[in-house]
């Protein structure tokens, strides 16, 4: 990491307009500007309100099941031979992923602002399920937009959402994946802005979403930091998290930003390999542009059209990334790498067989890179991997790869 | 004076209102567009909004989304759209052309290069749907330096303080989005529009165009009674969609819609 970065200032971002250096901001059509300003004001007020904090913390403890454990994967560490790998067990959260931390927070905002209807976009369906879950609990009407291709690969989650009372809309436009679901959710919001709260599922989108999603997800990093101090007696040497839009990664990273000795690695979806062009790795192989309300690294062609992505994991199959990651990359505070489909699947199998923990395919990307990284490190060093979700939703995909029909 | 201001001045002196059709460049094929633009002008269009196809048109309904997809099947890029404008300018040096689209294609080639090329081609204004004034200091400066107007949207949800701010940043005309929603959605309420326009006029003398929800000659006439310009998009694009297999019919049939509106507005 370059030594001239003012880490204290970095941790204070975004600025008042939602900028992380040149990234972030608010690039939306005029109809949404008032709603975003209102959201920003509501959020800034409530986030400092002890009553809101208390309710948020209580829900995280008793509904989500926090704190999630920090588990020393000693068998995997021994097998890899190198640094000690610790898993931050977000897979043990209610509904099976980190996504619920954010939906609890945003649903509370919806409740405090009196909006009776929530909408969401979803890729893997984890955010959709987490949104449908909190909507059920708070009695909010809920509509989830999901790319038609993802509806197929994540059919289990589609049914879960329906059981929870949400309406799931299969989006047929464009590439029929997460980005198109987000387009459609934005269109819904523009049309129903008066009574609808848009629960964005990742740390991207127009200001203040990247900030508030990060703040809600920071519980991951705060707990992990404290758990490291208690269980290991010091801070870890490296953090590893998968990056789709970047919410589980920023949630883990942010509370460590000022700890200059803690390295951070974000793992993007390498798909069939970066060199094939068939991947979802904007930070590794894209360039800055504007999509979905923020300026950030994107996968677009030389005419500025967004290009199709590929990843075995629906949750990482997105051509953009949260703006804070773009900035952390540029200034060198975090490093972004990739893991291919095959590497992720190998890691999925390894963790399942060696530790008896079946990770989400998204999270398997982080595990894959952590195993590589651990090999190059000493036995007395530690890596914290964000195990962002569990693999139950992916059994069909894995079986399909094995040629088995369930 | 810019071509856009000249056009509004002239209309004003004649006691008429601007009729502003929108079509997506390259829809359904690049070869159709320039002829269509001339047809629209002949039928009575005063200014043309030419859509730049984008892969992710978030503020548009299904009609214009599909138009973008058709245009992108032929790989219609921003620079190709500028070529179409240049081609149009060979015969028409009077009718203003406003490019309407999303920021990323402009961002990727760079504001300065875009402004150079757009000016050279004969573009008069740009309306970038996902670029509100808050994010456009640099963009505005460069466009102004090139004599290109920056057109901004005002929505039903825009409050007075912001209206003032947008008016300070806009030039050419202001585009009032008459309904909450995407392009091609519900019909507008003329009285509500009239009230909002009156509100906006407190802050500016810039002409006010109204778009979204204008579907036929009657609604065009009704809106022209309260606005300075009437912007029509989805009905035209829908007609193009019906004629994707009969390219020769597109210019005459789409222009016929504009002609009806012109007659209604001027009567
Ligand atoms: C388990 C899991 N991990 C990671 C992601 C990627 O999202 P993000 O990068 O916002 O954490 C998803 C998204 O669906 C997910 O379900």
* Min Cα–Cα distance to chain A from B247, Å: 24
Distance CA B261, CA B169 (A): 31
Distance CA A99, CA B121 (A): 48
| Residues whose CB is less than 8 angstroms from the CB of residue A377 and which lie 6 or more positions away in sequence, other chains included | A82, A83, A237, A238, A383
**Tokens, residue B117:** 């090329």
Half-sphere exposure of A318 (CA within 13 A, CB side): 33
* pLDDT tens sequence across A158-178: 999 999 999 999 999 888 989
**Tokens, residue B193:** 């529009």
Q: What residues of A are in contact with residue B54 (Cβ under 8 Å)?
A: 304-305
**Tokens, residue A276:** 């094939």
B182–A287: do the CB atoms touch at under 8 Å? no
Q: Which residues of chain B have pLDDT under 70?
A: none
Report yes or no on whether pTM surpasses 0.95: yes
Of B62, B102, B135, the CB nearest to A26: B135
Radius of gyration (Cα) for chain B, nearest Å?
17
Which residue's CA is the closest to the ligand 1 atom numbered 1? A389
B132–A304: do the CB atoms touch at under 8 Å? no
Which residue's CA is the closest to the ligand 1 atom numbered 15? A315
Mean per-residue pLDDT over chain A, rounded: 96
**What ipTM was reported for this prediction?**
0.96
Distance CA B71, CA B28 (A): 6
Q: What is residue B119's predicted lDDT score, i.e. its pLDDT?
A: 98
Which residue's CA is the closest to the ligand 1 atom numbered 6? A244
Core vs surface per residue A357-390: b (16+ CB within 10 A) or e: bbbbbbbbbbbbbbbbbbeebeeeebbbbbbbbb
* Min Cα–Cα distance to chain B from A308, Å: 10
Q: What is residue A46's predicted lDDT score, i.e. its pLDDT?
A: 96
* pLDDT tens sequence across A330-378: 999 999 999 999 999 999 999 999 999 999 999 999 999 999 999 999 9
In this predicted structure, the answer to whether residue A2 has a pLDDT above a threshold of 90 is no
Cβ neighbours of B63 (radius 10 Å)? 20
Q: How distant, in Å, are the alpha carbons of A133, A358, B31, B99, B149 from that of B146?
A: 53, 59, 28, 15, 9
Of B58, B106, B177, the CB nearest to A186: B58
Core vs surface per residue B215-225: b (16+ CB within 10 A) or e: eebebbbbbbe
A322 in contact with ligand 1, CB cutoff 6 A: no
B77: contact with A, CB 8 A cutoff: yes
- Reply yes or no on whether B266 is catalytic: no
What percent of chain A clears pLDDT 70, i.e. is strictly above it? Answer: 100
A28–B130: do the CB atoms touch at under 8 Å? yes
In this predicted structure, the answer to whether residue A3 has a pLDDT above a threshold of 80 is no
Of B59, B104, B109, the CB nearest to A291: B104
Alpha helices in chain B (DSSP H): 3-14, 30-43, 62-73, 78-89, 103-109, 111-121, 137-145, 160-169, 190-201, 217-224, 234-242, 247-266
A194–B180: do the CB atoms touch at under 8 Å? yes
Query: Which sequence positions of A are flagged as catalytic?
Result: 99, 121, 388
Contact in structure between A280 and A316 (CB atoms under 8 Å): yes
Q: What spacing in Å lies between the alpha carbon of A286 and ligand 1's midpoint?
A: 20
Q: What residues of B are in contact with residue A303 (Cβ under 8 Å)?
A: 75, 77-79, 105, 108
Q: Which residue among the candidates B46, B49, B149, B228 is catalytic per the annotation?
A: B49
Alpha helices in A123-265 (DSSP H): 126-138, 148-153, 155-163, 178-191, 209-217, 219-231, 247-253
Q: Which atom of ligand 1 is nearest to the CA of A124?
A: 14
Measured between CA atoms, the residue of chain A closest to residue B131 is A27
Of the listed ranges A109-113, A250-254, A268-272, B203-207, the one predicted with least confidence: A109-113
Q: pLDDT confidence of A1, banded at 50, 70, 90? A: confident
Of A33, A192, A302, the CB nearest to B108: A302
Q: What spacing in Å lies between the alpha carbon of A331 and ligand 1's midpoint?
A: 24
Q: What residues of A are in contact with residue B57 (Cβ under 8 Å)?
A: 183
A130 in contact with ligand 1, CB cutoff 6 A: no
- Reply yes or no on whether B42 is catalytic: no
DSSP secondary structure letter of residue A64: I
Q: A103: part of which helix (H) or strand (E)?
A: helix A99-113
A389 in contact with ligand 1, CB cutoff 6 A: yes
* pLDDT tens sequence across B202-249: 999 999 999 998 999 999 999 999 999 999 999 999 999 999 999 999
Contact in structure between A331 and A10 (CB atoms under 8 Å): yes
Q: What residues of A are in contact with residue B102 (Cβ under 8 Å)?
A: 290
Q: pLDDT confidence of A53, banded at 50, 70, 90? A: very high
Q: Which residues pair with A149 in a beta bridge?
A: none
Q: What is residue A4's predicted lDDT score, i.e. its pLDDT?
A: 83
A386 in contact with ligand 1, CB cutoff 6 A: no
A247 in contact with ligand 1, CB cutoff 6 A: yes
Q: What residues of A are in contact with residue B60 (Cβ under 8 Å)?
A: 187
Distance CA A97, CA B211 (A): 43
């Amino acid at each position: 990491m370059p030594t001239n970065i003012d880490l204290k200032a970095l941790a204070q971002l975004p600025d008042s307009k939602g900028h992380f250096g040149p990234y972030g901001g608010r690039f939306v059509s005029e109809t949404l500007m008032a709603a975003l300003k209102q959201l920003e004001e509501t959020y800034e007020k409530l986030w400092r309100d002890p009553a809101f904090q208390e309710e948020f913390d209580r829900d995280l403890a008793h509904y989500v099941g926090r704190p999630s454990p920090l588990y020393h994967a000693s068998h995997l560490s021994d097998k890899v031979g190198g640094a000690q790998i610790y898993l931050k067990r977000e897979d043990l959260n209610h509904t099976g992923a980190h996504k619920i931390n954010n939906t609890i927070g945003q649903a509370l905002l919806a409740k405090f602002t009196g909006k009776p209807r929530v909408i969401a976009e979803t890729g893997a369906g984890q955010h959709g399920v987490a949104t449908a879950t909190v909507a059920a609990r708070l009695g909010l009407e809920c509509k989830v937009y999901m790319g038609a291709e993802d509806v197929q690969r994540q059919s289990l989650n589609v049914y879960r959402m329906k059981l929870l009372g949400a309406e799931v809309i299969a989006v047929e436009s464009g590439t029929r994946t997460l980005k198109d679901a987000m387009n459609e959710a934005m269109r819904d919001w523009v049309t129903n802005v008066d009574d609808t709260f848009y629960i964005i599922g990742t740390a991207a989108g127009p200001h203040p979403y990247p900030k508030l999603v990060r703040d809600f997800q920071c519980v991951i990093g705060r707990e992990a930091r404290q758990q490291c101090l208690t269980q290991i007696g010091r801070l870890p040497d490296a953090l590893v998290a998968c990056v789709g839009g970047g919410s589980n990664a920023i949630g883990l990273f942010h509370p460590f930003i000022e700890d200059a000795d803690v390295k951070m690695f974000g793992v993007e979806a390498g798909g069939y390999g970066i060199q094939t062009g068939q991947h979802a790795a904007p930070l590794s192989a894209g360039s800055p542009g504007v999509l979905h309300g923020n300026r950030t690294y994107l996968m677009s062609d030389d005419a500025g059209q967004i290009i199709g992505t590929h990843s075995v994991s629906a949750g990482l199959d997105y051509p953009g990334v949260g703006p804070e990651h773009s900035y952390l990359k540029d200034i060198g505070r975090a490093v972004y790498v990739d893991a291919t489909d095959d590497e992720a699947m190998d890691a999925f199998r390894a963790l399942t067989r060696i530790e008896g923990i079946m990770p989400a395919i998204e999270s398997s990307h982080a595990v894959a890179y952590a195993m590589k990284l651990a090999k190059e490190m000493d036995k007395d060093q530690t890596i914290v991997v964000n195990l962002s979700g569990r693999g139950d939703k992916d059994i069909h995909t894995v079986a399909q790869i094995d040629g088995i029909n369930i | 004076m810019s071509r856009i201001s000249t056009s509004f001045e002239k209309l004003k002196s004649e006691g008429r209102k601007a009729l502003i059709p929108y079509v997506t460049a390259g829809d359904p094929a690049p070869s159709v567009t320039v002829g269509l633009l001339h047809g629209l002008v002949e039928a009575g269009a005063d200014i043309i909004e030419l859509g730049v196809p984008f892969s992710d048109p978030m503020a548009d309904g299904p009609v214009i989304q599909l138009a973008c997809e058709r245009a992108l099947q032929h790989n219609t890029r921003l620079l190709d759209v500028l070529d179409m404008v240049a081609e149009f300018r060979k015969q028409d040096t009077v009718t203003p052309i406003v490019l309407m689209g999303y920021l990323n294609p402009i961002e990727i080639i760079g504001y300065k290069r875009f402004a150079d090329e757009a000016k050279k081609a004969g573009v008069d204004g740009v309306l970038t749907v996902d670029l509100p004034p808050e994010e456009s200091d640099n963009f505005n400066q460069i466009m102004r330096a090139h004599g290109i107007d920056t057109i901004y949207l005002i929505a039903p949800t825009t409050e007075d303080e912001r209206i003032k701010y947008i008016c300070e940043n806009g030039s050419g005309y202001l585009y009032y989005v008459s309904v909450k929603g995407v392009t091609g959605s519900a019909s507008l309420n003329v009285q509500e529009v009239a009230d909002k326009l009156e509100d906006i006029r407190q802050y500016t003398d810039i002409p006010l165009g109204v778009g979204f929800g204008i579907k036929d000659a009657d609604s065009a006439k009704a809106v022209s009674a309260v606005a300075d310009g009437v912007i029509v998009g989805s009905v035209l694009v829908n007609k193009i969609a019906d004629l994707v297999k009969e390219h020769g019919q597109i210019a005459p049939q789409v222009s016929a819609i504009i002609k009806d509106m012109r007659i209604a507005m001027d009567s």
